[in-house]
Copies of this chain bind each other. A is one copy, B any other.
Amino acid sequence: MNTLGKYIRLTTFGESHGPAMGGILDGMPSRVQIDADRVQSELDRRAPGRVALTSARREPDKIEILSGISAEGLTLGSPIGFIIRNRDARSADYSAYEGKFRPNHADYTYHEKYGIHDFRGGGRASARETVSWVAAGAICRQWLETYGIKVEARLIETNNIGEIAAKGDSTGAIVDGMITGLPVGIGEPVFDKLSARLAQAMMSINAAKAFEYGDGTAAADAIGSEVQDKPFIDPQDGKVRFKTNHSGGIQGGISNGMPVNFKVYFKPTPTIMQPMDTIDTSGCEVTIDPRGRHDPCVAVRAVPVVEAMAILTVSDLLRYAL
């Protein structure tokens, strides 16, 4: 379904080649100062064509906030509705795809599940959807900042993206995320643990294949006596801190005051600029000769999306714990 969160809830809509994307952010406290320009800048940061190594499509991605924020920029406590028009659809580019299942893409599953699918740009399955997540995240970020909470992500390149792009191929990569300033006590046992909710949020992102936090996959090889995060009283402020952070800032699903660090692993962009063998909706073998705009590495544009999803998750759980 299309709602994320329980207390601060984002509900979204929009197909890649429809008139607009958009969402409703419900549950924000009232009287939080929101700078709409900063929301716009985060969309600009995500926009294709503005990031090196991303596809050439150049959408203005201009957000229009329709409710929930006063003329003075204060939240009203009412739901914040917003839309971002799709202006640069150029459907013609996609005619080569009609009725053909792109490998590793959602075409087949959407076609089977819904009995109706837009093969042009993926419809609801398109990564364009994440523009609404980034918009909502940019709003919530300003609320989190009032608590001193910061969320940052960065790309960890695994292969040389430029080289691979030159061949019309694609590659996976890793996005590393970090949440700092989170107070102790965020996360709700036993099914809304901070770790579990972060995992769900991150694995909602297109092309995400793995999530880990703290020691992550390496924890499976670890020896108990070697990875103990020993607590101590920080003489500077008398607060409890930990000498190491194997736990990744989360113990028992609840933040422990240390930075929350996590990684999201992304697969290569499914569509590459090389002929792809597949079948079409009638089961015939066909070849797709790809055109249009495609990122050689979907993870590049996922960086602000990872931030947004972490922000939304933390906001939701913070709102509940307050």
Write out the residue numbers on chain B whose beta carbons fall within 8 Å of the beta carbon of A40. none
Residues of A in contact with B, size category: 35 or more
Given A228-B104, A231-B108, also A79-B2 (CB < 8 A):
yes
A105 and B251 contacting across the interface, CB-CB below 8 Å: yes
User: Looking at the complex, which of A10-18, A45-53, A54-62 is the stretch in contact with chain B?
Assistant: A10-18
A41 within 8 A of B: no
**List of B residues within 8 angstroms of A211 by Cβ:** 199, 203, 210-212
Chain A residues with a Cβ under 8 A of chain B: 1-4, 6-7, 9, 11-15, 18-24, 26-27, 30-31, 64, 66-68, 70, 74, 76-81, 83, 101, 103-106, 108-110, 112-116, 118, 123-125, 129, 158-159, 164, 169-174, 184-185, 187-193, 195-204, 206, 208-217, 219-225, 227-233, 238, 240, 246-248, 251-256, 265-270, 272, 274, 276-279, 283, 285, 299, 320-321
* CA gap between A165 and B316 in the complex, in Å: 40
**In the complex, A240 Cα to B214 Cα: how many Å?**
40
Q: How far is the CB of A28 from chain B (nearest CB, A)?
A: 11
- CB-defined contacts of A222 to chain B, threshold 8 Å: 171-172, 267-268
Q: Does A27 contact B1, Cβ atoms closer than 8 Å?
A: yes
Taking the closest CB of chain B, its distance from the CB of A282, in whole angstroms, is 10
CB distance from A96 to the nearest CB of B (A): 17
